[in-house]
Structures are given as structure tokens and as C-alpha cells.
Chains A and B, each alone.
Chain A
Amino acid sequence: MRIHGAGGPVVELVDVVRRYAGGNGAPALAGVTVAFEAGTFSAVMGPSGSGKSTLLQCAAGLDRPDGGRVRLAGQELGTLREPKLTQARRRRVGFVFQSYNLMDSLSVWQNVLLPQRLAGTRPDRAWAREVLHRVGLAGRENDRPGQLSGGQRQRVALARALAGRPEVIFADEPTGALDLGAGREVLALLREAVDELRTAVVMVTHDPAAAAWADRVVFLADGRVVSELADPTVDTVAARMTAVTAA
């Protein structure tokens, strides 16, 4: 089913540079090369202003690098323009953000099917139902986001991301607005998506406990990859984080 080779990276950034308007300060990304493989859960960490959100946005095609290349599922993003970029994204990528980004005027069920409707493809209702069941929201299909708790909303966002069978899910502080229990549930679901559906997950977080759910942690500082950690634990992440921040 996956078109690109099973072993190849789903997301690949090579020498990615991103400057911001004004351009005097240090670039947000100063030549980042990193790859994310299918079926892996990666966390991106770093102090504030290290460029971790910019990295995620460039990787997802939500932002354009000023230099370097980004390949998403075998496709060169640099050559794509809107609306092709959106079309590529909605076929291959799912998003989970701190602020949920659900449509308040649509029901849970409508939100979950929205990307497929927008793509003009026939919604896979059976899979959508299955996904809602997996995130524990079976029976809440007709509720509106406004009637749900934060954790429930984030699970709807996750269900929406999964319903499109993406190759990669980008998550930006997905637990940032949630309490400990709700955050843990969301992380467990992301883990499950990696293990059972072989989806790649790239998650930006500042929380060592969240990063510990990943297979690998990439540390950024001043727009560069400064360190990596495989099979992280809360303690190793926290220690490495302290080292990175101090440097």
C-alpha cells in the first residue's frame, strides 16, 4: 500500500534553512538535516525559540524553507505550490495541535470526515467509526466540540488525523492544554497508531514525560540539531534537555 519503499524515510529534511522577516536575527532553522521513518514515534525537543515548531511546519509543508529540501512521502515539497501542497498534505498527513483546531459548527462525526470530504474522496465511514472507537469516543458522534472536554476534543482531532490513513502525523504540543490523565491517553493513542498502523509520528513537545513515549528524541538549539537520543526515558530526556539548554 505504501508507495515509497518500506525502509525509506517518510519525512526527510536536508539542510533546511528558515529565516524570518526582518532577517537580522539568527535564523529559526540554520541548516537542519533530519529524517523520520515510517512506524517510528519521534519527539522534537528544545528550549523556547530553538526552532522546533518551525521544523514541524516546514516538514509538514505549512511553511516554506528559505533553503534546503523537504521530502514528504517521497514527494519534493519545494516544487509544489498551493493548492497542490494542500492536496498532498491532506492525502498523506494528519495534524494534532495543542489547540485542537476543530470546526465548532460541525459535529464530531462531521469533523472526523471533513478532510476526506474536502478531498472529494468517498469517506471511509467504517474506518472512521473504527477510529472513533479506538479513541474512545464511540457514541459521541453527534456532539459538537463545544460539548466535549479538552482531552475528548484532542481525541477527536486525533481521530480526524487517523481517519485519512496518513503516512505521518505531526503533533505540536498535543498534550499542552491537557491534564496529566488526558495527556497520557492521547500519547497512548499516538503510540498505538505507530505500533499498530505503522504511521510515523513527529511530535514537538517540551515535556520529558511526553517525549519518553517516543522511540527517539531529536534535540534542537538555535535552529540546529544538537543531539539525538534513542529509546528515551523521562530521566535521560530530562538530563539531555538540561545539557542542551545549558550549552
Chain B
Amino acid sequence: MIRLAIGTLRRHRGAYLGTFLAALLAVALLAGAGLLLFSVLTATPPADRFAAATAVVSGTRDVTLTTTREKHKKGKTKTKTERLSGAGTLPADLAPRLAALPGVARVVPDAAFPVELATTAGPVRGADVAPVIGHGWSSAALTPYRLRAGHEPAAGEAVVDSDLAARGGLTVGDEVRITTRTGVRTLRLAGVAAPTGRDALPAQGALFLADREVAAVSGLAGPTAVAVLAEPGADRAALLAAVRARVGGAPVLTGADRVRADLPGALPDYIGPISVFGFTIGITAFAAIFVLTGTVALGVRQRLRELALLRTIGATPRQLRRLLGAESLVLAAVAALPGLPLGVLVAHLVAARFRHLGVVPAQFTVRINPVVLLLAGFAGALVTLVAARFAGRRAVRVAPAQALVETVVAPRGGVAARAAVALIAAAGAVAVLAFVPLGGPFGMGMTFISSALLLCAVAAVGPLLVRLVSAVPGRLSAGTGAAGWLAAATTRVEVRRTAAVAVPLVLMFGINAPLLLNGELTARLAEDQQAARLAGADTLVTGAAGLPLDTAKRVATLPGVTGAAATVPTRVVLAQGGKPQDYAAQGLLRIGSDDVLDLAVEAGALSGDGTFAASADLAEAYGWRLGDEVPLWLADGEQVVLRLSALFTRYRGFGELALPATLVAAHDPRGLVSAVALRHSDGAVAERIGQHWPELRVVPTAAATRTDDGNQQGAWELLVVVSLGFTAIAVVNTFAISAAARRREFADLRLAGATARQVHRLVDREALITVLAGLALGVAVTSAVVVPFSLAQDGVFRLVVAPATYLVLLGGVAGLGLVAGALPVRLVLPRRGLPALGDR
């Protein structure tokens, strides 16, 4: 059977080219997305700052909740963890207690805290804008960092790594300015240090202070980790057991795990990208499977006659099924050969772009895993096989007698099954759109799922829908000359073929338009809300990297300022049903009589210490009422209980929660004010700020409405580019397959007296009708998704979210369809060529 399959593949090289191309691209996309997801899931921190330590005792780095539920008389325990953005501290007396244990050579309390480093020339960061992390000098021994120049830092001095020194053009004796949550300090550079064999650790710059200055500069109550160095020849197991017994519940990390004791902000974040790559694989897998299924089905349908001929020479339906199966397996295997390397290339290209956008850490590398590649190839083969089986399930039962008849029509029927599939898919889409809160964090993902379901529904009953929506353009076309009349007739009669070509167009528009439009809508809403929040402010004061809360307070109390609001961005962990979940939040400090930050409070009032405000949506999701005492975890894992005092609605680009700024600054390791919004009575305030704090930027609020979601939007756009590219190729491919199979029909037309030009016009007109039908359905799918999404965001009914984007996409898809329809026939049928009689 395999030999026969290879034989048929060889003989019909042209006919299989389209299916081969689709399989190749599908495998490449699956492999690419699979590798990216695999790489991010298995990514390890690039270097271990604790490499020289035997074991590291870590402060809190996550919120872990364990719930026990009674189920069938058996307790079922579930543990859910959410990572913190900051680091919890350990008791200050832990280090001396551990030092007393036998076998311990040395114990080093380690503090790690973000530092904004600047010279007179401007801010200095590490390679790939890596953050600068501050430590006490004793921590240098843990890596170890060794001095390359100068000496250990004394009070008022600092040592930086060689990389930072090079980037900042620093030499020993220079002055540097550091900003932490405790304030701004000017230090003298005492020395330059580096880990063995390199200038700096990847992903983090290091700045060392005198040990006794750490607490004052960092604002930390204790060490974030305590490292234990064993004596040479000590019994490690016994030592670890003793350490574990001494520290109580705190994690004691060894080997590759030690790195987890570092400051979360100092390690590349591979958790965020998981959802991005998860989404990527969702979209690509859907598009790849969708396109491949359609292409394979089209290919099988075009070979009905050949299948019927095989039936006449005695092939049983079972043999035909096996032939189709074997064929598709050979095809998928051959397609995987170039497809998998292409997938590796795709993964590298996407990763490079994502690194550039900052969606993934600069240290992210694509790891090539043979199992992932095999799985991608296997998935491609499976999809091809199933699609071929499905498309051929009726074809193989073609009556042998039909082979002798000129046209072989696939037995109709299966309408009920197709309608059922369409109904179920559409119902699923409606359910998702109706019952899942699209305004929440999963809104975009859910709208993608519903457009995917709707596209499945459209594909299932494609011929029926295409017949409906092409009726009007068909009728209009019929009145315009012989070619128009013929085009109307062929698109109507060959509605399955029309649908097969139209469905990729529907896919191309229906999957990309909602992604782009919804992305644009959320970005625009965030900008609008930002503008509305700041409508009452005159100017916005920002620093290159943020300003300490103290500085913000002094800015806010300058003469002439009538109102001020400072925001300290942070993350807060909330729990519901035993599942901790991380949210964006702001520490909010308001000073003065005028309200300059309008969060659109709809109930209660913003209040002081011991209280917090939440977005109305969040409060509803968690079932909070005003006055409730709510437990929440701050960035360093500290649990506090705050009273809900206000519900607000303008949370986009801000955060779901507003907490007292001093509380946030005390528990977020960075703890810096990102911006102070000011309202002032006299214009000299800006000048005064410039005099006092030359490093601060003062801008009119109107110019400062951009939010930080830029890289998220960039990631969306890249995803859309990938899926646009793939779906565009699918569109061209199906048009080409369809045209290639119509040589004979075109030749017949030429014999009936059509000039080549008339045939070209006919095909152009068919393409136009097909494109109109495809776009009509694409717009329908898009609207079905975009409208509920828009309603869920802010209750406004929007059909066309961004007219420019919409038109460009509409025009692009239409243009591509028309060109893809027009080109193949011109290649098959040259304008001056004679009617072909030869190849039949």
C-alpha cells in the first residue's frame, strides 16, 4: 500500500504540491511554537549568584495556599502557589545561630534590592537593560566577585561590577548617584569587581555597599537570604539537616535550586512569557490544523475521479481508505523534513523579535528539543491523516460506475452531521461570549477561542453559508457580460469549491481582525482612562527611574501646588477559593486639597492608612463589599488586612487596587514613585522643581497619557503578523490548488469559443464573488466577537473599533484574494496561447 501511495504521489506531483506546502507550513508553525513554549517552560536562570555557597536559606518568594476538601470521605489536598514580585526577609538573628552549627565555615546574610544607578551622564543599567541589584560587600564572596580595581566599599562608597563600570564610563574615585526607596544618595566608587571569568552576571548588574549601610539604603528589615558555606570535608548531609532543623519552615536550597533565593526581580521572568507562548501555540495550532484540514479535503475531493477509477479496477473502499491514509502519511513525513528546520528558524525569529520587544527576557534562548520536533511532525501527520480519512470517507464509497461518467460528484449527504458540528461550535462560541467575563484578564484569550469556534462552524457549513452570502454578488455579476454570467453560474453550482477557497479568506480575516481590533481597543481604553484619570492635573513629574516617596512628598508640598497624587506601582496577591492570584496595584499618596487623580470612584471614598480601594469589577469577582476587611499579600509576601473603602472604575493602565503608598513603599523592594501628578496655581512650580531636582522631568499631563502596555501590544502585533503570513499563504495555496485542478475546464471553455482573456475575466470575477463572500463571513465572525468584547470592556457597542485598521485589513485580505485568484489562471492559460488539447 505504501508503494502504491508513493507511486500516486510521484505521478501527481503537481496536485500534491498544495497539500505538501500546507503540511510543511503547518508542521513548521507547530514546531516553532512548540519549541518556544518548551524553551520558556524549561528555561533556567542564566547564572547563580550563590555559586560559592553550600546552601542558601531563602526568605519568602511565593504565596502558597493549601486547601483540604472533603471528598468521598477522603481529604483531597490542593496546593496552589503564586510567585511574589519581591522578596521576603529572614530574621536578623538567623545568621549567627546558623554560624554556631558544626561544619559551618561561614554564614553570610545576603540582601538583594533594586538600585537605580546614575552618573551625571544619566542612568546606568546592565547588559540588555538588566536591573542593577544592590548587596552588602560580604555577599560578594557568595558568587564570588573579586576586586579588579580599588578596594572594598567603606561607608559612603560603592563597588560595581566591571560591566556596569564600562557602561557608565566609571573609574575608581568617580561619584555615582543611587536611588532606592529610602532616598537618593551620592556615593564614591571605591572599586570594580567581577565574577571569575566574566565582567558581570547575566541579567543582573551588581552594586556593593558597606555591609552596615545595607539596612539603611535598602529599607529591608533583615537579610533576604542567608548563605551557608561549609568547612572543607564537612558532612554535607548532616550539615543540611542541622540547618533545616534550625531554620524552621524556611526553604534551604542547594545546587541548582540556590538561585531561587535571589531577588525575583534579579532573575529573568520566564513565567509571563509562558502565557504569551501558550497563546502563540494556541493560535498557530488552530490555524495550522484548520488550513491543513481544508487543503487536504480539497485535494482529496479533486481526486474523486481517480478514486472512482480505482474502484472500477477492483479496489475496495477499505483499500482506498488505506491508500489515502498511506498517502497522507508519506506526504506529511516528506513535508516534515523541510518543515521542522523551518520551524526551528521560525522559533528563532519570533524569539529574537520577542526579546527585542521585551516580551521575553533578553537571556531567553530557543532550546531545540527532538521530542518537541517529533511531536510537531507527528501532529502534522495525524492532522493530515484524519483530514484525508474524513474527506475521503464518502469518496471511497463512490460507485465504481461513476468513474465512467464524466463528472464525479462526491455523494452528498453528511449535511446533518455538518450542521450538528456547526451548531455545537457556534453554541460553544455563544456560551463563551455570554458567560465568560470578557473584561477580565482572560478576555483576549476567550475572544480568540470564540472566534476559533465560530470559524469551525463556518467551515462546517461553508457551502451553505457561501451559497447564501454569494447570492447577491453573484446576481449582480450575472448581468455583466458573458464572463460575469459564467462566474455567477460556476460559483453557484460549484459552491463546494467556492467555499473551499472562501473559507481560508474567512479564517484570515476572522482570526486576525478580532486579535488586532481587541488589542487596539484595550490599548486605547487604557490610554483614554489614563487621560481621564489625569484630567484634573496640570503636570506630571517623573524621574528617569522613579523617585523615592520622600522626594515625591517634598515635590507635592512645594509652594503653589494645590493638589498632588503620587503612584507607586506594585503587585498584590489575592486569594479566592484557595487559589492565590497576582494583580497589578498602585500605592497611592494624595496630598493637598485638589483631587488630581480621578479614579472615578463609584462608591465609598479613597481613604488613608489601613484601607484600600479596588476596581468595581475586582470587588464583584471576589464578592467584597465596602467596609470588608480583606487579607492581601504585599510584594514581599507580608500579609496585611485592609478595609475596603472605595470602589473605582478607571483601572485600565493603573491597576486593580490602590493601597496606601507608604505601605507599598515599605514592602515592594523597588518601592519608587513612578509619577507625581500635580495641580498648581502658579506656573513657577515647574521651575522650582527644576531648581531643586534637576534630574526630574516635568511634562504637561496631556503629553503623558501613554501607558506601559506597549510591549504587550507589540507582542500581539507580532502574533498577528505570524498568523497573517500563514493564513495569507493558505489563501494563495487554496486558490492555486483550485485553479490547477481546473485546467480541463478552462480548456473546454477555450474550445467552446472563449478567448484566453474571457477565461481570465471569468476567473477574476469568480475570485471577486469568492472574496466578497469570504469577507462577508469574516466580518460576521469578527463582529460576533468584537461587539461582546467591546461591550464587556466599557459597555459601548462598537462594530468597527478602529476604522483605519479595519479598512487596511479588509483591503489587504481582499487584494490578496483577488491577486491569488487572478495569478494562477494566467500561468496556466497564457493570453496568446492556443487552446490546449494535449494534456487531458
Contacts and interface: CB of A to CB of B under 8 A. Distances in A.
Interface of A: 57, 61-64, 81-83, 85-87, 89-90, 95, 97, 99-106, 110-111, 114-115, 117-120, 144-146, 150, 153, 160, 164
Contact of A62 (B407, B485, B837): B837
Nearest to B493: A105
A159 B751 CA distance: 15
15 contacts: A57-B837, A61-B834, A62-B837, A86-B754, A86-B756, A86-B835, A87-B755, A90-B753, A102-B406, A103-B752, A104-B745, A105-B493, A106-B493, A117-B485, A117-B486
B837 to A, nearest CB: 6
Nearest to B836: A62
A146 B748 CA distance: 15
Given A99-B840, A104-B407, A105-B489, A114 B753 contact: yes
Contact of A82 (B481, B482, B485, B833): B833
Contact of A120 (B407, B482, B493): B482
Contacts of A101: 747-748, 751-752
Contacts of A100: 406
B482 A118 contact: yes
Given A62-B835, A99-B840, A83 B752 contact: no
A106 B489 CA distance: 7
Contact of B749 (A103, A120, A144): A103
A144 B832 CA distance: 31
A86 B753 contact: yes
A105 B752 contact: no
Contacts of B831: 82
A62 B833 CA distance: 10
A134 B493 CA distance: 28
A169 B299 CA distance: 37
Given A82-B756, A164-B753, 14 more contacts: A62-B751, A63-B837, A83-B757, A86-B754, A95-B751, A97-B751, A103-B752, A105-B490, A105-B494, A115-B752, A118-B752, A118-B755, A146-B405, A146-B409
Contacts of A63: 834, 837
Contacts of A102: 406, 748
A104 B752 CA distance: 13
Contacts of B754: 86, 118
Interface of B: 405-407, 409, 481-482, 485-486, 489-490, 493-494, 745, 747-758, 831-835, 837, 840
Contacts of B482: 117-118, 120
A82 B833 CA distance: 7
A95 B752 CA distance: 8
**Which interface residue of A90, A111, A117 has the most chain B CB atoms within 10 A?**
A117
B489 A115 contact: no
A241 B831 CA distance: 41
Contacts of B835: 62, 86
Contacts of A119: 753
Contacts of B405: 146
Ranked nearest first, the 6 interchain pairs of A and B with the lowest CB-CB distance are A90-B753, A83-B755, A105-B493, A115-B753, A101-B748, A117-B482
B485 to A, nearest CB: 7
A144 B493 CA distance: 10
Nearest to B757: A83
A199 B751 CA distance: 19
Nearest to A117: B482
A153 B489 CA distance: 19
Nearest to B405: A146
A81 B748 contact: no
A153 B755 contact: no
A85 B748 contact: no
A162 to B, nearest CB: 13
A153 B832 contact: no
Nearest to B409: A146
Contacts of B757: 83
B490 to A, nearest CB: 5
A103 B834 contact: no
A114 B832 contact: no
A145 B406 contact: yes
Contacts of A118: 482, 752-755, 758
A146 B486 CA distance: 18
Nearest to A90: B753
Contact of B834 (A82, A90, A97, A110): A82
Contacts of A117: 482, 485-486
**Which interface residue of A115, A118, A145 has the most chain B CB atoms within 10 A?**
A118
Nearest to A53: B837
A103 B745 CA distance: 7
A168 to B, nearest CB: 14
A3 B493 CA distance: 40
A146 B407 contact: yes
Nearest to A95: B751
A86 B407 contact: no
A165 to B, nearest CB: 13
Contacts of B494: 105
B834 A64 contact: yes
Contacts of B758: 118
B80 to A, nearest CB: 61
A191 B489 CA distance: 34
A78 to B, nearest CB: 13
Nearest to A56: B837
Contact of B752 (A99, A114, A144): A114
Nearest to A63: B834
Contacts of B834: 61-64, 82, 85
B470 to A, nearest CB: 14
A82 B829 CA distance: 12
Contacts of A104: 406-407, 493, 745
A81 B758 CA distance: 16
B748 A103 contact: yes
B745 to A, nearest CB: 7
B832 A82 contact: yes
B600 to A, nearest CB: 61
A64 B837 CA distance: 13
A103 B752 CA distance: 9
A1 B700 CA distance: 89
Contacts of B837: 57, 62-63
Given A57-B837, A64-B834, A110 B755 contact: no
A18 to B, nearest CB: 13
A146 B753 contact: no
A64 B493 CA distance: 35
B409 to A, nearest CB: 6
Contacts of A103: 486, 745, 748-749, 752
Contacts of B489: 105-106, 110
A160 B751 contact: no
A115 B342 CA distance: 49
Contacts of A144: 493
B732 to A, nearest CB: 24
Contacts of A57: 837
A87 B482 CA distance: 14
